[in-house]
Every structure is written in structure tokens, then in C-alpha cells.
Amino acid sequence: MLLGLVMTAVVGAGAGAGVWYLTRADAPGTIATPPATAPVTATRTADGTAPGSGAGADPGTGSGAGDATPQTPRAAGPDGPDEPPAGYRRALDPVGYALDVPEGWTRRQKQGEKAPVVFYDSPGDGRQLQIFALSEPTPAQSLDLAENDPGYGFSRQPGYRPLERTSGATWAELTYRYDDAGLGARHVVDHRFQAVDGTLYAIRASGPESLAAAAVRAPLTEALRSFCPTGSVCAP
């Protein structure tokens, strides 16, 4: 696994979680361009919310994980859904996928060892989306490595506490909090999944812990619902 990423610290005004192990505070784990040979699978729950978003789950236990029923994203063609929801815009990202992101959020990109890491940053409230391809065999293995690696796992960050874990056959999600030296307490939802072309991706949402958890998760929900690799036809 290729873990030789450059440690930098990029903290823009109102940006998300800065940079640690390429994205310091919201460390992704290993990133690379994986083979796109796995079967097409799903990433959504039956009610259209992200797996693991159910209320009342005990911190760190992932209660309710077995209740999630993945579905395919709602994208209706190679450029995603017909219309983004109110307050969102269609981003045809040059890295190779389409997804809906909040209007006014700005894009930036960092190059990992084998794959780019794309960020969409809120200009005002510190929220952020982060997207990258995975090199591990499964989303669960990738998430476990990102959390627990003794050298860079984000469980080593100050104030780290897992809040909820959920998973399915082709996706895994961890919600946690930690204390960033520059940005303060942060809330993170890390969702790793298999896209319709078989490629494995992570989409991570983060924001200040002072914001409502639903406000941090909302951009992730729309990103997952609309995510469609370039050249793919995604089911509505």
C-alpha cells in the first residue's frame, strides 16, 4: 500500500479540516487508482439518507448498521441527475466523476501518490467535502487502515472519539470527532463505497462540531446520491 504522501498544512479561510497526511485533520488513508473490475453495487439507504444516519445510535457501536438497505445513486445519466436539488449545483469534476455540491463551495485539488484528492470547501462555515479513490480491496479495509494505522491513523488525533460505525457489503462509514489545533473541535463523516463502475471511493464530510450534525452530513448525502463516474450510466 502506498502511503508516501506529503504532509502539508493548508488551512484557507472557512475551509474544512485543513491538511494532515495530505489532508492532515481529515486523513484519508491510502489513496490510489484501483482496478475497476468489481461488480456494480449501491451506496444509498432505502429512505435516501446515508447509511449510519439514523438517530439514537450509541457512540462507537454502530447500532442500526444492519438496517441500511443500499440502493444505487439517483443519477440518471453520465452527468448525474437531471436537476440538482435547491441550493446545489452539478460539478462535472475533471478527475472523472459528476456529483452535486453546494452552490458557492470552491474546488481545490491535491495530488496523492497515485490519485488526486479533491476538496469542495464552504466559503463561510468551515464545512468541507473530500473525494478520492481507494487502493485497498474493500471499503471496510480502507476505513480500518485510515483509522488505525499506527503511523498515521486518524484515531491518533487529539480528542479522537468514534461516534457511529455502519457498513454493508460494499460500503463502510465512520462518524467521529477530534480536536484540530487550528480549527478547534471537528465532526467528520467518512463514507467509503463502490461506485457503479466498480471503482472504490471515499467521500468525507467535515465541519465544526458546533454545527448541527445534520448540517455536516447534508452535503455528503447529496454527493453520494448524485455521484456518477464519467462515462457511466447511473440508475435513477
Q: What is the pLDDT of residues 157-216, one digit of tens each?
A: 999 999 999 999 999 999 999 999 999 999 999 999 999 999 999 999 999 999 999 999
Residue 65 lies in a domain: no
Residue 79 lies in a domain: yes
Query: CA of 95: how far to CAs of 25, 107, 108, 129, 181, in Å?
Result: 23, 12, 11, 15, 31
Residue identified by cell 488525533 is 157
3-state secondary structure of 2: coil
Q: What is the pLDDT of residues 28-77, one digit of tens each?
A: 443 333 333 333 333 333 233 333 322 222 223 233 333 333 333 444 44
Contact 188, 177 (CB under 8 A): yes
* % of the chain with per-residue pLDDT over 70: 64
Q: How many domains does the chain have?
A: 1
Residue 47 lies in a domain: no
Residue 19 lies in a domain: no
Residue 82 — pLDDT band, cuts 50, 70, 90?
A: low
What angle is formed at CA 23 by the lines to CA 9 and CA 112, rounded to 5 degrees? 110
Q: What is the span of the domain harbouring residue 123?
A: 24-33+75-229
Residue 113 — pLDDT band, cuts 50, 70, 90?
A: low
Residue 29 lies in a domain: yes
- CA 236/CA 188 separation, integer angstroms: 28
- CA 137/CA 40 separation, integer angstroms: 15
Residue 88 lies in a domain: yes
- For the chain, the 3-state helix, strand and coil shares in percent, each to the nearest 5, are 15, 30, 55
Residue identified by cell 484515531 is 155
Residue 192 lies in a domain: yes
User: What CATH number does residue 220 fall under?
Assistant: 3.40.1000.10
Residue 96 lies in a domain: yes
What is the per-residue pLDDT for 136?
Answer: 94
**DSSP assignment string, 189-220:** EEEEEE-TTS-EEEEEEEEETTS-HHHHHHHH
What is the per-residue pLDDT for 47?
Answer: 30
